[in-house]
Amino acid sequence: MGRFRADEADRYGGQGGAGYFSLKNNKDVAQVRFMYDSIDDVEGCAVHQVEIDGKKRWINCLRSYNEPLDSCPFCAKKRFQQAKLFIPLYNIDEDKVQVWERGKKFFGKISSLCARYPHLVSHVFEIERNGNKGETTTTYEIYEVNKDDTTLEDLPELPQIIGSVVLDKSADDMEFYLENGYFPPEGDDDDMPVRRRSSRQDEDAPVEEDRRATRRTPASGGRRDRF
């Protein structure tokens, strides 16, 4: 039976995640559908790269291009943002949804494809790698193979980029990482120190170091956090 209750919804269909698409060797090819209907569906992400448990991960930058650097703790510390495209693909050869990580220059390529092939998802493309493994000059050719009536609704759910491929962290989380080299465990807010703005009126006020801790000896001054 295909019916389910509201509390069972997360057990059905896609889970919002997806693996990465890659062609590892020179002249490797794959047939795919870009999971876009038009250029209006294409969005880039401003991100920072961090290391978590020995692996490189992307986190969402908190600053728009026209905002000051201190709008994002990572930007304020000169950990410069990068502009990336995380393109959702339906890999026909592997029968799965994947994400293709590209730089912002790929906007021109995907824009041209959307203009040339209306309702982009209804076109099957073959992507070919030109470049050996590890080469920084690797390029990709994209050829249309055929067209049909496929829509986005005919494919699995679109992957959730922010929150899975790109980690979504708060300013507090970023400040914690910059101080400790790792992010606080999810759901452990009660164990995290409470930060507060300092002012002259607060100089003689007690500082609450932990939500679970009792009031301690008054502290002078305090850290000024940037929010």
What DSSP letter does each residue of 35-73 carry, written as one string? S-SSGGG--EEEEEEEEETTEEEEEE----TTS-GGGSH
User: What's the rounded Cα separation, in Å, for the pair 160 and 170?
Assistant: 18
Place of tokens 């995380």: 86
pLDDT tens per residue across span 107-166: 999 999 999 999 999 999 999 999 999 888 999 999 999 999 999 999 999 989 999 999
Residue 16 above 80 pLDDT? no
Q: Residue 22 pLDDT > 60, yes or no? A: yes
CA distance 149 to 218: 70
The tens digit of pLDDT for each residue in 39-95 reads 999 999 999 999 999 999 999 999 998 999 999 999 999 998 999 999 999 999 999
pLDDT value of residue 52: 94
pLDDT at 136: 87
Stated as kind and residue range, the H or E segment containing 114 is helix 106-116
